[in-house]
Structure formats: C-alpha cells, structure tokens
Amino acid sequence: MSALEGLNPGLWWDDTASLRALEQRLLGLWGGRGFAEVVPPFLLPETEALAASSEALSSRTLKVQANGGGSLALRSDFTAGVAWMVSRRYRSLDAPLRVCYSGAVLRRPTPDRPEGLETLQGGCERVSPAAGFEGDEEMLRLAAESLLALGVKDPVLELGHWGLVGPLMDRMAWPAEGRAALESALNRKSSSALAALGGRFGQSPELVLLGDLLHLGGRPEAVDALAPRMRTMGVLAVWAQIREFGGLLGREFPGLAVRLEPTDVRHWSYYTGLTVKAFAPGRPFAVLSGGRYDGLYPALGRSFGAFGFAVHLGRLLEKEG
C-alpha cells in the first residue's frame, strides 16, 4: 500500500452523521457510568510514547521531527496519550480514575491490517490506584453494554487472558525467532504451523498443552478436561477466572454470544491480564478490543493499574463485506 493509497479520503455528510450518532451513543453511555471525556494529545514525546506502547504498536508508530526538540510520536493509540496525561497530573490515586475519548489515530498499515493510515476510535480507560484485578468486572460489563448501545448485529464477545498463554510461552526455552513464530501460529489458529514449530525448535509439555488449547478453543467444557495439566503448569486459576467472567456475561447479557479463547495472543505482550474483543459478521477485524495492562504506568513512573478498551468506529462505518 502506498502512502497515497493509505490516506483517509474523509467522511461525507452521511458517514459524518453516522459517526456522530455512534459517538453520542458511546459517550452518553460512558458518561452515565462515570467516565469523563478527555482529549488526549495527538503528539507525544517519542520516549514516553514508545515506553507506553506494545511492541506491535511501536513498529507502527509514525514520527515527526520537532524543530530542535527531538522526535515526537503521532498518536498510534489513545491509551498511551491518556497514560501520559494521567502520569503528569497524578503521583498517586485515592480512587479509580475513569476517562473516555473519541477521535483519530495514525498507524503504519501492515499486511494483516490493511487499513488506512488514519482510523477512528472511541474508548475508555479505568485507572486504579494499584495493579491487580480490581475493575475487570466493571469494564467487561461496560464493553458488553457498548456493543448493545451501538446496535452491532450478532456480535461475539471474546475473552482471553495473558496469564494463560504468556506463562506457558515463558516456560519454553525457545529463541526469539521461535517465540515470534509461535505467537504468529497461535494468532492464525494454525495447528499445523504449531506442529511444524515443535519439530524445528523442540517439543515440550507446554507446546503440547498450547496445541490442545488451540484445538479446543471455543468449547469450554472440553478445555475443562485439561484441568490436571493446567494445574501442573500453574495456569488453571486463570482459566477458572475466564470461565467465571464468561458465565457472568452470559447471565447478565443472555442475547450476547460469549466465546472463551484460551490461546489469544494478539498483542499479548501489551496486556498483563484479561483481554476482550468483539467481532461482528461481515467484518474481518475486531470492532472492539482491549484488556488489562498493568505494565504501562510503571514504565511512566507510576504504580497504577489499568483496564481499557477501544471501539473501532471506522470499522463500524465500513459497509459489511
């Protein structure tokens, strides 16, 4: 994709009206739940922006050179900008801080994400005084409510957790090349690629478990049968947490399909806990994504924990394929 092909052609009046309607629904819902709207900066000091971004976003971040002031990073996601704002204003928190936003982000397109340079998002972040699981339930409910408020047709809400896949991968003594290939194979849900990697880099109980989890993903009762092996490898409690949250959403939102995905690795290194995504028929990419990211604020000198998610408004405006 050339730079010109990646330019945003702009929104004509019908799409602009649709965008404003979506924003009003989301900001109205989030404001009613105590999330105050903020406007994160479009430019950040490069050091702070990259410290707050995952490896994937770091490679997709666009930069500009300030006159004598060093490199600045254009907004590749809102979370980094919010974190920068919060860390400049608060050294400590006595209670959770809730903020929301809407606007554009700029990213380098990739082969598996052929979107334009500029995309539209809305989202919210819940920043806690300390790292942990506090607030996960609130944010999952809000994600489900956001899908309903938007009127997304037949959405599927998918739950994963870094604490299941990440520790299994950390136990495997593979080189960086093998680890990256393993992440790619899990992301593509390719059992054959997983098997080939075992032949190349070496088999292990962790790899076998990952292969079984991949094969059984989406069938919670079948995954439950792997409990003895998950317990041995120290990840059973995490699966139990995913199951608990899946059951909670199923009870409170009976019309919403909930899928439990034990091998979710998309941008897994950005997250430290629960992850959430939503998909809709006819749309190739997630329309909502986020999770817990307790490693971000310590990189900026604060001990806060946080959970956030973004609604991909630009994707919702696209015609269904």
Do 34 and 123 lie in one domain? The reply is: yes
List, for the chain, all residue ranges whose pLDDT scores fall below the cut of 70: 1-6, 52-58, 68-69, 110-116, 266-269, 320-321
- CB burial of residue 148 (10 Å; 0-12, 13-18, 19+): middle
Cα–Cα distance measured from residue 123 to residue 307, given in angstroms and rounded to the nearest whole number: 11
Residue 121 φ/ψ, nearest 5 degrees? -140, 160
pLDDT digits (tens, 9 = 90+) for 28-78: 999 999 999 999 999 888 877 777 666 556 677 888 877 766 788 888 889
* 269 and 149 share one domain: yes
Question: What count of residues does the chain have?
Answer: 321
63-66 and 70-74 beta bridge pairing = antiparallel
48 and 105 both lie in a single domain: yes
The pLDDT value recorded for residue 188 is 85
Question: CA-to-CA distance for 192 and 194, rounded, in angstroms?
Answer: 5
- The pLDDT of residue 288: 96
pLDDT number for residue 4? 58
**Helix pair 162-170, 176-187: axis angle to 10 deg:** 150
Question: How far apart are alpha carbons 172 and 183 in whole angstroms?
Answer: 12
Q: How far apart are CA 43 and CA 46, in angstroms?
A: 9
User: In this structure, are 157 and 127 located in the same domain?
Assistant: no
Per-residue pLDDT, 40: 95
Same domain, 155 and 269: yes
The tally of CA atoms less than 13 A away on the side-chain side of residue 118 is 11
55: domain range? 1-132+302-321
Q: Is the domain of 147 the same as that of 256?
A: yes
How many other CB atoms sit within 10 Å of the CB of residue 72? 17
Locate all alpha helices (DSSP H) within the chain, ordered by sequence.
13-32, 46-52, 55-60, 78-89, 136-150, 162-170, 176-187, 191-201, 205-216, 220-224, 227-232, 236-252, 296-299, 313-317
Same domain membership, residue 180 and residue 117: no
Same domain, 268 and 196: yes
Residues 59 and 196 occupy one common structural domain: no
* Integer Cα distance of 239 and 242 in angstroms: 5
Q: How far apart are CA 162 and CA 263, in angstroms?
A: 9
Residue among 321, 308, 257, 306 at smallest CA distance from 122: 308
How many separate domains does the chain show?
2
Do 160 and 244 lie in one domain? The reply is yes
Q: What is the CATH number of the domain that holds 145?
A: 3.30.930.10
Residue 99 near residue 82 (C-beta atoms within 8 A) = yes
Distance CA 258, CA 255 (A): 9
Residues 167 and 288 in one domain: yes
Domain identity same for 68 and 157? no
